[in-house]
Structure formats: structure tokens, C-alpha cells
């Protein structure tokens, strides 16, 4: 299996499908690159080179005790991009991966990144503070950490309902999708899963969004129960210079079902534009 090794010795697993202009995909918490398989095939089938990595501590990458923070995630992504010498690059990120993609593009991707797409992404910042009074109280993230410590497996099983919106009437998401969420989450290292809660909730991406000078496609469902749209996409679009916001009525956080079908059409149109 293909890996790169970062400066601190962490092995980062990645997939590399197809040929053409590169698109790199960053996955959400607590998943792995497998979460992007459908979109990777879509990209490769349409003349792109699709690449997705397992963030450190997740999937098949090293289960590190250290470096489970957004600056290191972005540096790891930069190491992969440089190892593969990717240019004319499109970056796509979901949820936590959206934060990783934005920070990478702003701080490492100048001259390499030509487009950015985020889906249900955590920027600009999730946690409530004096400067972000509309944010989610820190107690909500503390409860996630407590639930992970108490019974990670059951927590992921329960969380999958909110993630995919199966607790809403008329949901068309299968039990198989929920089981896959649990499976990928349980593959991740415990330290990374726990520490990443702080990374995705408390990292402020405001200046990263402002720094982007390439086209940015921001997508989110308006029934996202994981990352509230009012504190995410609706704020992020006001911070980027060249952005397009697409809101998907009734769509959840997880990319699946009818939401995935519509989103993938829009992503392909953005890649090709």
C-alpha cells in the first residue's frame, strides 16, 4: 500500500486513482479516505487524478500520540502534496477535513492550489467564545470526549443517526451506511479521535478563509446536526474573496443518499469549470 513518511516519522496512507489534474480529498472525523470512495471514482472517471489520505491517527496511517492538531494535519497534507509534486491542485474537504483543506491551501498551497471545495466544513470556528457568541458551547464538546472515554463504540453507533439524519422522518439512509461510519471510526486510534475533538471545535480558520484567493465552493445541508450551518457555511462565505455557497435543503452532515447524488453533480461541475 502507498505511504509517505513525514518529518516526525509518521506514516500517512494514501490512495491514488486515475490520471489528469489532481484532486486531493480530506476526510471528516473520525473516518478515513474510504469515506471519499464514490467521489474519487467520479473524479477519476472524468479525467482527474483522485488522491485521498488517511489523516494521522486515522485509518491505515500511524496511530500517533502527538500531532493531532490542525497545524500538523495541514503540514502532513503538504508533505503528501510535495512528495507527489502535485500542482494545479484542487482540494476538497468534508467536516474536519474541510478545516484541514482550508488551512493547507492558505498556508502551504500558494502556487499549487487552484480551487477549494468544502462540504459541511468546520470553518470558521465552531466553539462558542466572546468573539463567537453564536458558537456551540464548550460543554457540548466536553460531552463528546466523555462519551468517547465511556464507550466509544456505542457513541459512534448513536452518533451515526445524527450524522446521516436517520433520526428525521423520511430518511433514505441505509443501516449499511451507519455501520460503515462505525467501522471507519473504530479503525482510528483512540488518542487521535479524542484529541481531534479539540482540533475541529476550537481551531479558528478565519484568517485562512480570508487568505484564499482562488475559487471556493462551499456546500452544506441546512439540516446538518453536527456542524450548524449558521455558524459554518453561512459565515465562511462572507470571509472568502471568490466564493460560491450551495445550501442543500433538508440535507444532513454525512454525504450519502440523495444529498450525495446532488452534491456530486455540483462538485463535478466545479472541478470542470
Structure confidence by residue, pLDDT tens digits, 76-109: 999 999 999 999 999 999 999 999 999 999 999 9
H/E run at residue 217? strand 216-221
Q: Thinking of the domain 3-272, which architecture would CATH place it in?
A: 3-Layer(aba) Sandwich (3.40)
Residue among 26, 33, 61, 95 flagged as catalytic: 95
Q: If we measure between CA atoms, which residue out of 93, 74, 85 comes closest to residue 35?
A: 93
Residue among 54, 195, 208, 224 flagged as catalytic: 224
Catalytic residue list contains 95? yes
Q: pLDDT value at position 1?
A: 66
Domains in the chain: boundaries = 3-272
Quick: pLDDT tens for 229-267: 999 999 999 999 999 999 999 999 999 999 999 999 999
- The alpha carbon of residue 26 and the mean position of all alpha carbons in its chain are separated, in whole angstroms, by 5
Residue 74 CA neighbour count, 13 Å, CB half: 20
DSSP string, 12-36: EEEEEES-SEEEEEEPPTT--GGGG
Catalytic residue list contains 201? no
Q: What percent of the chain has pLDDT over 70?
A: 100
For residue 5, which phi and psi values (nearest 5 degrees)?
-115, 125
Amino acid at each position: 500500500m502507498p505511504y509517505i513518511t513525514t518529518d516526525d516519522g509518521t506514516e500517512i496512507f494514501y490512495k491514488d486513482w486515475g490520471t489528469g489534474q489532481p484532486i486531493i480529498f480530506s476526510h471528516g472525523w473520525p473516518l478515513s479516505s474510504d469515506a471519499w470512495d464514490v467521489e474519487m471514482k467520479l473524479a477519476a472517471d472524468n479525467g482527474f487524478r483522485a488522491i485521498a489520505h488517511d489523516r494521522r491517527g486515522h485509518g491505515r496511517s500511524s496511530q500517533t500520540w502527538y500531532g493531532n492538531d490542525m497545524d500538523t494535519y495541514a503540514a502532513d497534507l503538504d508533505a503528501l502534496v510535495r512528495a507527489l509534486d502535485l500542482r494545479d491542485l484542487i482540494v476538497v474537504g468534508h467536516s474536519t477535513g474541510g478545516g484541514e483543506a482550508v488551512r493547507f491551501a492558505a498556508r502551504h498551497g500558494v502556487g499549487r492550489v487552484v480551487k477549494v471545495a468544502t462540504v459541511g466544513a468546520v470553518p470558521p470556528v465552531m466553539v462558542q467564545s466572546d468573539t463567537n457568541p453564536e458558537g456551540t458551547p464548550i460543554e457540548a464538546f466536553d460531552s463528546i470526549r466523555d462519551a468517547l472515554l465511556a464507550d466509544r463504540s456505542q457513541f459512534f453507533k448513536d452518533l451515526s443517526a445524527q450524522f446521516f439524519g436517520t433520526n428525521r422522518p423520511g430518511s433514505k439512509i441505509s443501516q449499511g451506511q451507519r455501520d460503515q461510519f462505525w467501522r471507519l471510526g473504530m479503525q482510528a486510534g483512540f488518542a487521535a479521535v479524542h484529541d481531534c475533538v479539540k482540533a475541529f471545535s476550537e481551531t479558528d480558520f478565519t484568517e485562512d478563509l480570508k487568505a484564499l484567493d482562488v475559487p471556493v465552493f462551499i456546500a452544506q445541508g441546512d439540516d446538518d446536526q453536527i456542524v450548524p450551518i449558521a455558524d459554518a457555511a453561512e459565515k465562511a462565505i462572507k470571509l472568502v474573496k471568490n466564493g460560491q455557497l450551495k445550501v442543500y435543503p433538508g440535507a444532513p452532515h454525512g454525504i450519502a443518499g440523495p444529498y450525495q447524488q446532488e452534491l456530486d453533480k455540483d462538485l463535478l461541475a466545479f472541478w470542470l469549470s
